[in-house]
């Protein structure tokens, strides 16, 4: 719900009561986060022709003759330009109602909402059941509108055959494209591939470069925090890792924030019960199965 990636000290949150941590972070910027995505305009006005054709074919197959929701907005930051990030959630929508809210916007063609809803259909959070096909469908709908996070997630689906017919080659090409463009989901997917090949150092380097660019998401911050806390691919630095998790959790309800909150609870429950309980409440509110 922030307008742009923001660096802040996790120490700011330590004194807050459990119910107010998320509200404090959200109150830092009460403006539409969509403005962040306008800065991407012109970086990728359209996908490379061959990938675009293949993505469109995959999208048509997934929607199986049903109309694919497309944005009706005339806003140049939405139509025809590369986008990234999740949809914003109004303050009056409860976390356990966010899937219904995002679904309505997704069916109206909002590519960010399509990506957000697809993530929830993958995780099963936000008041919906886990459904791999629905997740792939809405990632594809977002990808067909040049939403880079949706495209990268679809690349992951294609690589593994999750909710869609498997196409390892296309999946890897998409992941490489999005990672090369600096998209956070693309970076996460690329880093996961490096980690699966025992290249933790290469994965951390990708995460660190994303932080330096200022293009991160909650899951990327969680992943980098994990590396610092466990010394995976980088010299262990527990306090830095905890602060990255605090920053990730402060981006609730974006994907990764719930896992960051839960792991903060586990990490801190033996030394700071108040803060540990605060993050437990955040994780539970987000629907994380603790």
Q: What is the pLDDT of residues 103-153, one digit of tens each?
A: 999 999 999 999 999 999 999 998 899 999 999 999 999 999 999 999 999
pLDDT of residue 76: 56
Nearest to 141 by CA among 64, 45, 217: 64
Tokens representing 216 are: 């991160």
Contact 98, 124 (CB under 8 A): no
Overall pTM > 0.85: no
pLDDT at 6 over 70: no
Q: How far apart are CA 42 and CA 52, in angstroms?
A: 17
Q: How far apart are CA 70 and CA 115, in angstroms?
A: 13
Per-residue pLDDT of 243-284, as tens digits, reads 999 999 999 999 999 999 999 999 999 999 999 999 999 999
CA 186 to chain CA mean position, Å? 10
pLDDT of residue 287: 93
Nearest to 6 by CA among 221, 265, 151, 241: 221
pLDDT of residue 73: 73
Contact 40, 1 (CB under 8 A): no
Cβ burial of 205 (10 Å; 0-12, 13-18, 19+) is middle
Per-residue pLDDT of 142-188, as tens digits, reads 999 999 999 999 999 999 999 999 999 999 999 999 999 999 999 99
Q: What is the 3-state secondary structure (H, E, C) of the chain?
A: CCCCCCCCCHHHHCCCCHHHHHHHHHHHCCCCCHHHHHCCCCCCCCCCHHHHHHHHHHHHHHHCCCCCCCCCCCCCCCCCCCECCCCCCCCCCCHHHHHHHHHHHHHCCCHHHHHHHHHHHHHCCCCCCCCHHHHHHHHHHHHCCCEHHHHHHHHHHHHHCCCCCCCHHHHHHHHHHHHHCCCHHHHHHHHHHHHHCCCHHHHHHHHHHHHHHCCCCHHHHHHHHHHHHHCCCCCCCHHHHHHHHHHHHCCCCCCCHHHHHHHHHHHHCCCCHHHHHHHHHHHHHCCCCC
């Amino acid at each position: 719900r922030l307008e742009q990636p923001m660096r802040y000290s996790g120490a700011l949150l330590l004194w807050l009561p459990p119910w107010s941590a998320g509200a404090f972070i959200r109150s830092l910027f009460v403006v539409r986060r969509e403005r962040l995505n306008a800065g991407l305009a012109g970086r990728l006005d359209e996908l490379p022709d061959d990938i675009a054709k293949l993505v469109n074919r995959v999208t048509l197959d997934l929607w199986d003759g049903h109309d694919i929701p497309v944005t009706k907005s005339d806003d140049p930051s939405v139509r025809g330009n590369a986008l990234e990030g999740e949809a914003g959630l109004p303050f009056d929508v409860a976390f356990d109602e966010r899937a219904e809210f995002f679904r309505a916007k997704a069916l109206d063609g909002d590519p960010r909402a399509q990506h957000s809803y697809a993530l929830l259909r993958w995780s099963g959070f936000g008041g919906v059941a886990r459904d791999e096909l629905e997740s792939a469908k809405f990632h594809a709908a977002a990808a067909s509108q040049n939403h880079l996070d949706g495209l990268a997630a679809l690349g992951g689906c294609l690589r593994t055959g999750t909710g869609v017919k498997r196409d390892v080659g296309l999946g890897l090409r998409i992941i490489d494209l999005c990672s090369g463009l600096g998209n956070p989901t693309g970076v996460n997917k690329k880093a996961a591939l490096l980690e699966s090949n025992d290249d933790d150092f290469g994965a951390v380097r990708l995460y660190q470069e994303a932080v330096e660019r200022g293009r991160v998401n909650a899951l990327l911050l969680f992943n980098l925090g994990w590396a610092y806390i466990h010394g995976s691919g980088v010299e262990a630095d527990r306090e830095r890792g905890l602060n990255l998790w605090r920053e990730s959790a402060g981006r609730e309800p974006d994907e990764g924030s719930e896992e960051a909150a839960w792991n903060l609870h586990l990490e801190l429950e033996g030394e700071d019960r108040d803060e540990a309980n605060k993050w437990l409440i955040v994780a539970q509110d987000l629907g994380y199965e603790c």
